[in-house]
């Protein structure tokens, strides 16, 4: 698979040929289940002349079915393009096929999808991660040159780590959420999946910028990072010690080996500790489910997608939502409704917001001494399907990623090696708010050191 940087220089006729070859590769690897449906000749034609980019099924593409991998949105056709899709088209790229995901981005394994599971391209018995598992598997499996996903609590970085590609979550507000189906509005961010760090910076530049249609979009000066990448910068990098303690032996070993490479390259390494990750998990799942409960109330059988057969309004609401949502989505809606209910709002939701502020302050304290933070992405490599049956245990797969979203910080996951089963191991850099330049510089430095 050629790089995005190379593809952007291809003449028109070679792009068309590349798309045809890509369709063949997708058919050859259809058992991975990265795409929700097979790409058709009509879709290839409608995608225009641009470089093909895979799109997660919760990002609006005009005239496409966009379902968030849920039964409740079957039949819905997007009437407009998301801001990021407009940006792609303006820069000579084109949306090219919908990728599978956990239903409404709720999950860490892409097993909750209405369409069935996506498989890890390195071992089809293992999960690709989630919720953006389809996008990660497509790029990691060589059937997408690049892809877009969304990251609410690690949903780009975790599957990127499992599938051996580069995945980046921008600073909250840097990329417009206009056209992204909302899960948790104060946490969601669209971000890129690519084969390498430089491609990731290029795609990040394309989708970033202020959008007046998104009230949370940051209206600040923007300077492209891909033109100014400097892997030779010497940075102060903070390693979170208590993160390493709870990682598997193989993940910890690879992280420690990469730290030594960073030291040899002249980067200064300092060691810090953070709050126990159980506070991150509790805070995240209170805030995220509360916002999900509010956001998903719009799916009621009246305005979008499916409507169940019924005899009155009350039955329509109950049957449509009961039949339309999967178990995990129902679980999170119920939890979110509970923490927002009278008598529990102060005990749970208000406390979670205070804890969120504490988490943000702790990151700010570390960044007074460091340019970047370096940490694992996941406690272990990709796990096998069905090996985690307890929803609470599944939530712990996000212990290293969710604090980043709570603080609104940018972060990037990149592959640093493999375990003894030849499954990818990923690590992440975390940056200061709106300092994506330093984030990409550090990631490019490490990528080159490990080649």
Half-sphere exposure of 48 (CA within 13 A, CB side): 13
Phi–psi pair at 365, nearest 5 degrees: -65, -45
Told to judge if 155 belongs to the known catalytic residues of this protein, a careful annotator would answer yes
Helices (H), 154-311: 157-163, 197-207, 241-245, 249-264, 277-295
In degrees to the nearest 10, what's the CA dihedral of 325, 330, 334, 340? -60
Are the C-beta atoms of 128 and 118 separated by less than 8 Å?
yes
pLDDT at residue 343 in the model: 86
DSSP symbol at 181: P
Specify whether the CB–CB gap between 60 and 78 falls below 8 A. yes
- The domain ranges of the chain are 4-228
Give the distance from CA 63 to its chain's centroid.
Answer: 24
Under-70 pLDDT residues of the chain: 38-48
Looking at 19, 56, 117, 432, which residue is catalytic?
Answer: 56
Quick one: CA dihedral 44, 50, 53, 58, positive or negative? Answer: negative
pLDDT value of position 253? 97
| pLDDT score for 442 | 98
Predicted local distance difference test score (pLDDT) of residue 144: 96
Distance CA 75, CA 429 (A): 40
- Of the residues 131, 135, 176, 208, only one is catalytic, namely 131
The yes-or-no answer on residue 131 being catalytic is: yes
Q: Which of 155, 176, 184, 208 is catalytic?
A: 155
pLDDT of the residue at 128: 98
Q: Does domain 4-228 have CATH number 1.10.1060.10?
A: no
């Amino acid at each position: 698979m050629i790089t995005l940087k190379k593809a952007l220089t291809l003449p028109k006729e070679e792009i068309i040929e590349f798309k045809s070859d890509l369709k063949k590769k997708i058919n050859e690897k259809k058992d991975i289940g990265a795409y929700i449906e097979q790409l058709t000749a009509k879709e290839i034609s409608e995608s225009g002349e641009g470089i093909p980019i895979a799109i997660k099924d919760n990002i609006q593409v005009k005239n496409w079915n966009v379902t968030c991998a849920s039964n409740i949105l079957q039949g819905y056709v997007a009437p407009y393009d998301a801001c990021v899709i407009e940006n792609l088209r303006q820069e000579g790229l084109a949306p090219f096929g919908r990728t599978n995901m956990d239903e409404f981005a709720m999950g860490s394994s892409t097993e909750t999808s209405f369409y069935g599971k996506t498989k890890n391209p390195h071992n089809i018995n293992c999960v690709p991660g989630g919720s953006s598992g389809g996008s990660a598997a497509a790029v990691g499996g060589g059937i997408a040159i690049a892809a877009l996903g969304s990251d609410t609590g690690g949903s780009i970085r975790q599957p990127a780590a499992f599938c051996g590609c580069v995945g980046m979550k921008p600073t909250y507000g840097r990329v417009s959420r206009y056209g992204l189906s909302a899960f948790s509005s104060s946490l969601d961010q669209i971000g890129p999946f690519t084969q390498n760090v430089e491609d990731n910076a290029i795609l990040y530049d394309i989708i970033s910028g202020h959008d007046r249609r998104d009230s949370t979009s940051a209206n600040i000066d923007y300077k492209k990072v891909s033109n100014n990448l400097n892997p030779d910068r010497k940075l102060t990098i903070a390693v979170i010690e208590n993160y390493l303690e709870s990682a598997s032996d193989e993940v910890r070993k690879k992280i420690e080996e990469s730290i030594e490479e960073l030291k040899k390259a002249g980067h200064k390494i300092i060691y810090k500790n953070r709050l126990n990750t159980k506070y991150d998990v509790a805070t995240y799942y209170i805030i995220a489910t509360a916002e999900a409960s509010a956001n998903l109330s719009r799916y009621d059988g009246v305005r979008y997608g499916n409507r169940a057969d019924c005899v009155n309004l009350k039955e329509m609401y109950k049957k449509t939502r009961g039949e339309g949502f999967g178990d995990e989505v129902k679980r999170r809606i119920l939890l979110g409704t509970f923490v927002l209910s009278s008598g529990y709002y102060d005990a749970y939701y208000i406390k979670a917001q205070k804890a969120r502020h504490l988490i943000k302050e702790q990151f700010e304290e570390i960044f007074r001494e460091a340019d970047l933070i370096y940490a694992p992405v996941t406690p272990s490599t990709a796990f096998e399907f069905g090996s985690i049956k307890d929803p609470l245990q599944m939530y712990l797969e996000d212990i290293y990623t969710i604090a980043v979203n709570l603080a609104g910080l940018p972060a990037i996951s990149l592959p640093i090696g493999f375990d003894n089963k030849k499954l990818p191991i990923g690590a992440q850099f975390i940056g200061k708010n709106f300092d994506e330049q330093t984030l990409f510089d550090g990631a490019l430095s490490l990528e080159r050191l490990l080649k």
